[in-house]
Amino acid sequence: MLMGVEVVVEGLSKSFGSQTIWRDVTLTLPSGEISVLLGPSGTGKSVFLKSLVGLLKPEHGRVVIDGVDICDCSERKLYEIRKLFGVLFQDGALFGSMNLFDNIAFPLREHTRKSESEIRNVVLEKMEMVGLIGAEEKLPGEISGGMRKRAGLARALVLDPEIILFDEPDSGLDPVRTAYLNQLIVDLNAQIDATFLIVTHDINTARTVPDNIGMLFRRNLVMYGPREVLLTSTEPVVEQFLNGRRQGPIGMSEEKDAGQMAAELAELDRDAAGVPHIIPQLEVSPGLPERTAVRRRQARVLRELSTLSPAAQQEIMKTIHPHDAARTESMRGSLAGAEVAQVPQPTQVQPHAQTQPPLPRRTPSPHPRPEQQVPAGGEPPWARQRASQQRRWFGRRRGGEQ
Ligand SMILES: Nc1ncnc2c1ncn2[C@@H]1O[C@H](COP(=O)(O)OP(=O)(O)OP(=O)(O)O)[C@@H](O)[C@H]1O
């Protein structure tokens, strides 16, 4: 089984001319974990994704992947590193004139020397993983936006990526389809253990899918850390965003001035304010292997525990098995902060949780076949138009793309 690689971003700054997009962004996407990047429109989330794959060159800082700083390496090395990535574009970025099978097979035909029968095996495996078996002959224009995203995801999977970037996977989808897609993302993570980064505006996605959350605002990464840190944060911009409120530092099109913000926050009923209670993270569908990243993350988060806010610490401890929680509490009581960072060791964290032997890769997909999910007739024309308006990933149009 593959294991995703860590992505280390250090002091990254990007401008276009005199316009600073963000500065001094530092974060680590831990190996195999799911991270979400939030931020109001225009804060540079897409620019960040493009910088991670080396399509844009930040002026300062480093992006280290597999020991290579992609901001300062040869084109040849960058080409190699890019092969580690799979990208889910906003509407799948499929070629409109090709059926789904050929769309998904495209990277294999372009970048490998696999025979047609090997290609067929890989394509069908990935189509099964995303619940698209039976739709091989469909054209992208004949299917719903949700199916197009699944097809785009299958295409992103065919070269067995170790890092997958999702650009607003939930855009243009209704809440039910978004819930299906979110479950699919978690299930895929369990199956392939790749490192995921999701850019989204969807609060529910942010609250239920990731292990880690970051937020861009006012040209800075205002916060980044384990999900419990942001989901319990009282930082005004984070609270405002996660509650979808008007009151707070985020304005209609620009930031608000401090006076207006203070007046609004004073008016706000404090009982109604605050981040909603943390809801549990989505679990993997029955029949699939557990997410190995969960145990790695637990060990990591416990090592960092003393550096986190008390509210975050409390939420994290609720997710720990009582046996481990008691031990962690006693260690925290008896050790100084610096020493706490060294315990517990990953192997000590969950002695009760023996890993199940991995299931074969061709586990039947828990994701229903498309015809069970999508009503006959597919999507209405307005939905198709909206999806095409939203496609602007990497700012490139590709010949024949729908
Ligand atoms: N190639 C470019 N040249 C000049 N400016 C650019 C370029 N790409 C992006 N920008 C600017 O960078 C800013 C951030 O854009 P970006 O699309 O990354 O924001 P975003 O956070 O992804 O927004 P949204 O949530 O609306 O998708 C915008 O002001 C945009 O105009």
Report how far ligand 1's centroid is from the alpha carbon of 41 (Å).
8
Nearest CA to ligand 1 atom 24: 41
Residue 216 CA: nearest ligand 1 atom is 21
Between CA 268 and CA 273, with CA 271 as vertex, the angle to 5 degrees is: 55
Q: How far apart are CA 363 and CA 265, in angstroms?
A: 51
- The verdict on the CB of residue 171 being under 6 Å from ligand 1 is no
End-to-end CA distance of the chain: 34
Nearest CA to ligand 1 atom 5: 16
Residue 223 φ/ψ region, left for φ over 0, alpha for ψ in the -120 to 50 degree band, beta for the rest: beta
Nearest CA to ligand 1 atom 17: 46
Report whether 185 contacts 166 (CB < 8 A): yes
Nearest CA to ligand 1 atom 2: 16
Report how far ligand 1's centroid is from the alpha carbon of 320 (Å).
40
Give the ipTM of the model, two decimals please: 0.97
Which candidate, 315, 65, 288, 82, places its Cα nearest to that of 213?
Answer: 315
- The verdict on the CB of residue 43 being under 6 Å from ligand 1 is yes
Predicted TM-score (pTM) of this structure: 0.79
The predicted pLDDT at position 339 comes to 35
Report whether 149 contacts 177 (CB < 8 A): no
Q: How far apart are CA 319 and CA 232, in angstroms?
A: 14
The predicted pLDDT at position 270 comes to 52
Q: What is the pLDDT along the chain (402 residues), one digit of tens a residue?
A: 557 899 999 999 999 999 999 999 999 999 999 999 998 888 999 999 999 999 999 999 999 999 999 999 999 999 999 999 999 987 668 999 999 999 999 999 998 999 999 999 999 999 999 999 999 999 999 998 889 999 999 999 999 999 999 999 988 888 888 999 999 999 999 999 999 999 998 888 999 999 999 999 889 999 999 999 999 988 888 888 887 777 777 776 656 566 666 666 666 555 455 555 788 899 999 999 999 999 999 999 999 898 998 889 988 988 887 666 666 666 555 444 433 333 333 333 333 333 334 434 445 566 655 444 433 344 333 233 333 333 322 323 333 333
- The verdict on the CB of residue 47 being under 6 Å from ligand 1 is yes
Q: How far apart are CA 232 and CA 182, in angstroms?
A: 22
Residue 199 CA: nearest ligand 1 atom is 22
CATH code reported for the domain at 7-232+359-391: 3.40.50.300
Report how far ligand 1's centroid is from the alpha carbon of 47 (Å).
6
- The verdict on the CB of residue 212 being under 6 Å from ligand 1 is no
Domain limits of the chain?
7-232+359-391, 236-267, 294-349
**Stated length of the chain:** 402
Q: Where are the beta strands (DSSP E) in 182-338?
A: 195-199, 212-217, 220-226
